[in-house]
Structure 1
Amino acid sequence: MDFTAWAISLMEFLGGPGMALVIAAEALFPPIPGEILLPFAGVSAAANGQHVLVPLLWTTLGSVLGGLGVYAVGRALGLRRTRAVVRRLPLLEERDVDTAMRFFERWGFPAVVLARFVPMVRTFISIPAGIERMPVGLFALATAVGSGIWNAVFVVAGYAFGQAGGEVLEGFVRIYSTIVAGIGVLAVIGLVIQRLRARRRARDSARDEADDPATPPTLEG
């Protein structure tokens, strides 16, 4: 069973809490494709005869809980130790943390709201919010606003197809899963290539500096 099927089964088995758990996991583990899972939360709710607000509230709660988890990590570690941890993680670099810090320092509350619309970035923005000790209530509010808007787009779409049912729903599930999974694979491959090239350039630059002898001082007579 692939991850998408497992997540759908969990949402169907646990209902709303399952939706929150799956979406919270996406915030804590960015490679998990939330954009795949959100429509199926709407599909599941429609199949169970629930109002569309039910999956929307549960998925938004999951986004807030996941964001708070990452926020807590940033707050506990601080900037120096966060950089040290990132240096040891594959495919991540210190400049990712620095970029998120600058974005947050410049925009604050709107940065957290807007970051919820961008995969990966929505996870990273929680780190500087924690490092800078943004008030927890304010951070939760910003995350809820951004995530609520973002989640609604996918949840409502899934809910509409879930109500249609039959071949329409089957076609939606099949095509949507294939397209988004393909995009996810391409995004990961692109990120890996980008990181490997950046690290190779950094090694080459360091080697060139080590091989380049210091320019001897000139004697003026």
Structure 2
Amino acid sequence: MSSIGAMSTSADELTGIVGFAARFIDSLGEWGVGLFTLAETVFPPIPSEVILPLAGFLTRQGSLSLPLVFVTSTLGAYAGALALYFLGAKVGLERSIRWLSKLPLVEREDFETAEGWFRRHGKSAIFFGRLLPGVRSLISLPAGAEKMHLGTFSIFTIAGSGIWNGALIGLGVLLGKQYSMVEQYSRFLNYAVYAALAVVVAWLVVRYIRRRKTADEPQ
């Protein structure tokens, strides 16, 4: 069987959100992984914790290049971070937060948390922030607003993204050795993803309702 055939068979065996991601990557190859990480950087609810282990898993099937998956995923994360960096630099932090906080289930506090992290930790916040869910995407806004040197921002962003992506891809590569676990992997990972998304959405909705009630209370 050719490597492409092996890849398609493995992708077809995966179901749910994992199966959708696998078939998307199957169609676009390594650059599909990069598009996912770009989208995940700009729209944090898209879970890199699912996409990157899956990409690593699929490299074991023979069609994807492991080095190229690592490169494209890191470039995608960097491109998304740059978009937020230039948004902050162009329109300022306050206006950026005001615009982006209008997105569904996105709270101003999320941006203020990233801003506080940046102010406390400075340049190191860019590197370590890339390793922290929630902060990972939004940390680029205050960096741009504060006119952090683009070269420094790029180095820390690429380094942090590379470590995070490499760790998740590596987990998928390890799983890829267990061919008999494909169906089990898909089923239980989907359950975990759906449960995590449900918890996150429920928490965001409750937090939004509570804040609206507080805002409506007479002062």
Q: TM-score, normalised on structure 2?
A: 0.83
Please, what is the CA RMSD of the aligned residues? Answer: 2.1
What residue ranges of structure 2 are gaps of 5+ in the alignment?
A: 1-14
1:103-157 residue CA offsets vs partner (Å, 9 max, x unmatched): 2122122111222222222111111011111122221221222222222222111
Deviates more, 1:144-153 or 1:91-100: 91-100
Q: 1:120 to 1:39 in 2, by over 3 A?
A: same
Residue 137 of structure 1 aligns to a residue in which SS?
Answer: helix
Query: In the alignment, residue 76 of structure 2 is paired with which amino acid?
Result: G
Deviates more, 1:81-90 or 1:22-31: 81-90
Matched, 1:77 2:91: yes
Matched, 1:92 2:103: no
Matched, 1:159 2:173: yes
In structure 2, how many angstroms separate the alpha carbons of the residues matched to 1:111 and 1:13?
36
In structure 1, how many angstroms separate the alpha carbons of the residues matched to 2:58 and 2:194?
20
Counterparts of 1:93-112 in structure 2, within 5 Å, are: 93-112=107-126
Q: Are the aligned partners of 1:11 and 1:44 in contact in 2 as well (CA < 8 Å)?
A: no
Counterparts of 1:1-221 in structure 2, within 5 Å, are: 3-48=17-62, 52-86=66-100, 88-165=102-179, 167-204=180-217, 207=218, 209=219
Rg (Cα) greater in structure: 1
In structure 2, how many angstroms separate the alpha carbons of the residues matched to 1:49 and 1:18?
13
Q: TM-score, normalised on structure 1?
A: 0.83
How many residue pairs are counted as aligned between the two chains? 205
Residue 45 of structure 2 aligns to a residue in which SS?
Answer: coil
Query: In the alignment, residue 148 of structure 2 is paired with which amino acid?
Result: M
Q: Are the aligned partners of 1:30 and 1:123 in contact in 2 as well (CA < 8 Å)?
A: yes
Query: In the alignment, residue 34 of structure 1 is paired with which amino acid?
Result: S
Q: Are the aligned partners of 2:18 and 2:189 in contact in 1 as well (CA < 8 Å)?
A: no
Q: Are the aligned partners of 2:41 and 2:81 in contact in 1 as well (CA < 8 Å)?
A: yes
Q: 1:217 aligns to what?
A: none
- Identity level (%): 34
Deviation at 1:30, TM superposition (A): 1.4
